[in-house]
Every structure is written in structure tokens, then in C-alpha cells.
Amino acid sequence: MKRGKRYDAGAKLIDANKMYDTDEAFKIVVETAKAKFDESIEAHIRLGVDSRHADQQVRGVVVLPHGTGKTLRVLVFAKGDKVKEAESAGADYVGGEELVTKIQGENWFDFDVVVATPDMMGVVGRLGKVLGPKGLMPNPKSGTVTIDVAKAVADIKSGKIEYRLDKTNIIHCPIGKASFGAEKLNDNFKTLINAVIKAKPSAAKGQYLKSISISSTMGPGIRISTSKVGE
């Protein structure tokens, strides 16, 4: 595969055979993020589990101390007093049946996260076939089905992210923007990796953290030593 000049220039700064500590890795990832836009930085964590088994799933949420650098649009399904609570907390869209009609009839998806109060899940359930495949279906485990909609919206707006395994047992997760600088990106990464370590399933055997790498949107991957992460 032919790579761009920026990618090739960045690759020259990275030793593909080296396992970096986090301080050095984040200095390099910022240095190699030279696109004309503010590149996102993502962590890729391969775990020693089998996602085909329910007792080896790894999924959770964590609030990154410096946010993700992206302003998320939040849709809330609520009624009664919860409508005003969601609006006051900064929700972009709040409603009920009319939002279901808009999504189904207009193929409307101008939102990034969906939150719902428990008493609205009967309504939201009708959207399962369209929200589910997009990863937008509210879920108690991710804190998006809750009676405390104000806190849910505030957390999402301040940098709460969800992490989960894909079918290849890898977690891909955004941890900020290149403009954050190495120190803040490292803070966010450590918060994420500690959450993933604490979420280790009891059924997991052998080495849990198999491999870790970070990369910018347009840059090459940088491998991080698994023995130098965590608390």
C-alpha cells in the first residue's frame, strides 16, 4: 500500500521493533501528527480474552480528565421534569415519540450519543434495529439508561467515552487531539488503561494486556510496552 509523504516522514521517527514507554510514545505521536487539521489520537489495546464468550467481554465507560477534544451531540429521550433537567445540562435534543418519528421517517442521525430514562425504553426500543447497528442504543452498562439524565449529559459533554472489545479482541478508543500535547494525552491514556485493567474478567486467563499501540489519524502506529502501563 502506497503511503503519503507525511506518513513516511513520521514512520522514519519510529523504531518498529521497539516497545516505547508512554512518555516517549506520546512525544513522538504529537511530533508525527503533521496534517493540516488537528489529528485525533487513538489507543489500540489487544486483550488476552475471547470476545465470543459472554464471561470474557470487556466493556465500560470512563471520563477522560482532559476530554476527547470533540463536542458530542447528545439526544435524550425523557418526559416530565426530566426534559428540563436534560436541557439545563446541555442536551442538544430532548423529546419522546416525536424523535422516534423523526429518526424513522427522515433517517435523521444528527447526534452522537443517545441517553434515555428507564421509563422511555419502551419507546426507544422501537429504534433498536436502526440505533443498534450504529452503536447508539442506550445501555445501562454505559450509563446511558439512567434516571439522572443531567449527570449523564454532563459526563458525556465533559469527556466520558465508552470502550468495548471488537470481534478481534481489540479496544479502539479516542484519547484526545494532537493539540493536547504529550502530557495531557498521556493522562487520558493512563485513565483509560487503568479502567480497562480494572475491568479484567475473572474468566480471563494468562496475559491480559497482549499489545498496546497509539496512532494519530494520519500517522503510523507506535507500540507501547505493556509492562510499563497501569497504576
Give the single-character DSSP code of 135: T
Instruction: Give pLDDT tens digits for 129-178.
Output: 999 999 899 999 889 999 999 999 999 998 888 899 999 999 999 999 99
Instruction: Give pLDDT tens digits for 15-38.
Output: 888 999 999 999 999 999 988 999
Phi-psi region of 135 (alpha: psi -120 to 50; beta: other; left: phi over 0): left
CATH 3.30.190.20 positions along the chain are 5-68+160-228
Q: What is the 3-state secondary structure (H, E, C) of 198-223?
A: HCCCCCCCCCCEEEEEEEECCCCCEE
pLDDT band at 41 (very low <50, low <70, confident <90, very high): very high
Cα torsion 95, 82, 123, 143: sign: positive
CATH 3.40.50.790 positions along the chain are 74-157
First-residue to last-residue Cα distance in the chain:
38
* pLDDT score, position 181: 96
Architecture of domain 5-68+160-228: 2-Layer Sandwich (3.30)
* pLDDT score, position 31: 93
Angle between helices 182-198 and 22-32 (to 10 degrees): 130
The CATH T-level fold of domain 74-157 is Rossmann fold (3.40.50)
Q: Is the pTM of this model over 0.75?
A: yes
